[in-house]
Structure 1
Amino acid sequence: MRHIDYYLCKMAPTYKVALVQLHPKPLAPAQNYEKAAAFIRDAASKGCHLAVLPEYHLTSWVADRPGFKESCADSLQYLQQYQALAKELRICIVPGTIIESDGNSLQNIAYFISSNGDIAGRYQKKNLWHPERRHLVSSAHEPHMAFDTPLGRVGLLICWDLAFPEAFRELIADGAQIICVPTFWSLRDVSDEGYALNSDGEALFLNSTVVARAFENTCAVVFVNAGGPPEKDEDTSFAGLSQVGVPHLGSLGRLGRAEGMSIVDLDMDVLRIAEENYKVREDMQGEGWHYAYTRIRDGSKL
């Protein structure tokens, strides 16, 4: 019952979360890192407990360009720099995703770095978007696992994972209260035929799904997407729309489509109230729970 103890507590903290919606320059990891670090320093100066960056924030997603694989070669260097930055500033960091090489394969990895610089969690993207499958390896049948952090129990997902409620269910079955979702999602990630149906359809998808996942799982969904260049303001194919989805309250701190940062006060007591109302976790731990795969992990009950 260790995961439900949090929800019995009447005094829950409020965390400041920085949504760092970057516009990554293709194949320029050093430049992109410096910009990300400047945002994180600003967030720390404003008292933030957590800063979250987008997917592919170091390289952008240009996998068909010559040099893409080579630009991922220093992934360990940047991870270590983020660890040092977290320790220096005493802030937790989800450094978007970092592309790592495993032999001839590329993996898309998200990390949670604690405020002491230690890595609290690591997740390899499972649900690859169709064009990614020519370049990346999925984590396939590895289970979704939550982990303990200074902000409570946290889970990581990446971009297209957002479309799969099963991923969220498995994380909250493992006690996740906050789920961070670094993303690289464009308004033109659909076919011309799909775009013609609704040019704002991907924005509708994101705004609807982030909030729905928060409600149906009594959790906070920290969704951070790539944005367009600030000089073009909202005139970009980048979807942006970084936000925190919370039950009862909906979307908090939502950004537009341009590069920028939003700081959200995440009151964890809202999650307690949501669980008391909806009893999602309580039902999942009950003996009569219908969907056994969300109640059984490694052959034993939660």
Structure 2
Amino acid sequence: MAPVYKIAVIQLHPKPLNPEANFLKASSFIASAASQGAHLAVLPDPRAPTQHLHRPRHHRRIPPPSSSPSSSSANPDNNDDHPTLLNKTHFISPTGSILHSYTKKNLWHPERAHLTSSSHDAHESFDTPLGKVGLLICWDLAFPEAFRELIADGAKIIIIPTFWTLSDCNEYGLRKNPMSEDLFLESMVTARAYENTCCVVFVNAGAPVGGRDKGTYAGMSRVALPFVGALGEETKGSREEGMSVVEVDMEMLEQAEANYGVRGDLAKEGWHYTYRHQGKGRL
């Protein structure tokens, strides 16, 4: 019988460049998730404002990965006066060790002046108590190639800490549809679960409860599975800070693969989609 896991989706309202406050709030949510029997707790990308990331005085305020339970952090690698800033997410085991780290590959356009991509490094799955897991961050969601590489490497659960706002859409798109980013996230998260016969854990930042800036935060954190779509009643329709604890029956992934055969096709010798991008803007 396939296992059933409880996953806590924590739609935190992170305070940029305030790791102490984020740590305390995250710890409280994680304790609540543990009391509800969660096997895994996932936090959003706390993302520092990109316009500040190049300033050395802010680098001292960005925590190393071991000092915070946050899912994602920007880590400086100092080289004289020109630090390399990486947006990294970490999977922390029940004993507190870091099982795997991932550096964001697909940088959102304003980030590219300040952050360094993992570029041609392979997307790799890794072993956890919940089976094979893959990590992505935020804008990686838009690239199906990232998911394909992870599931080809055996990932069954793909975790995506995110800081995604409604204002990430340009003025033209917002005139056409003020909720354009809602449509993007709702469509993409579910599509990625179906087309890869996997569980997608998408966790976005939320607005402060009762705050005035609810119109900025997209929220919509959820766990998506084939056949049933989005789970997480407390967060999937909400923009505010909160938490959902959902049950993920891994049999659903087995049955989805039996029905659609995506992984089986990818594993075939001579499978016809064999291209790799070569970094020159063309296939």
TM-score under structure 2 normalisation?
0.90
1:96 aligns with 2:86: no
Aligned to 2:30, which of 40, 65, 88? Answer: 40
Q: Quote how far apart the aligned CAs of 1:49 are.
A: 0.4
Aligned equivalent of 2:155, options 176, 198, 218:
176
- Contact conserved, 2:12 with 2:43, CA < 8 A, in 1? yes
Contact 2:196–2:262 at 8 Å: present in 1 too? yes
d(CA) in 2 for partners of 1:196, 1:165: 27
Deviation digits for residues 39-77 of structure 1, max 9, x if unmatched?
001101111000000012xxx431324896544536555
Partner of 1:195: 174
User: 1:35 and 1:71, CA in 2 relative to 1: closer, same or farther beyond 3 A?
Assistant: farther
Residues 234 and 257, structure 1, Cα contact 8 Å, conserved in 2:
no
- Residue of structure 1 equivalent to 2:256: 274
Listed as ranges, the gaps of 5+ residues in structure 1 are 1-10, 83-94, 295-302
Is 1:79 the equivalent of 2:54?
no
Residue 280 and residue 96 in structure 1: after superposition, are their counterparts in 2 closer, same or farther (change >3 A)? Answer: same
Q: Which residue of 2 aligns with 1:61?
A: 48
Matched with 2:132 is 153
- Give the 5 Å matches for 1:1-302: 11-56=1-46, 60-65=47-52, 70-73=57-60, 75=62, 77=64, 79-82=66-69, 95-103=70-78, 104-232=83-211, 235-253=214-232, 254-293=236-275
SS of 1:292's partner is: coil
Inter-CA distance 195–282: structure 2 relative to 1 (3 Å threshold): same
- The code of the aligned residue for 1:264 comes to V
1:119 shift after superposition: 1.2
Identity of aligned residues (%): 53
Q: Please list the CA deviations of residues 201-241 of structure 1 after superposition, one character each: whole Å capped at 9, or x if unmatched.
A: 00000000000000000000000000111113883210000
- Determine the structure 1 residue equivalent to 2:280: none
Paired residues of 1:234 and 1:258 also in contact (CA < 8 A): no
Alpha carbons of structure 1 residues 255 and 150: separation in structure 2 relative to 1, 3 Å: farther
**1:291: how far off?**
1.2
The AA in structure 2 aligned to 1:43 is A
SS at match of 2:154: coil
**How many residue pairs are counted as aligned between the two chains?**
269
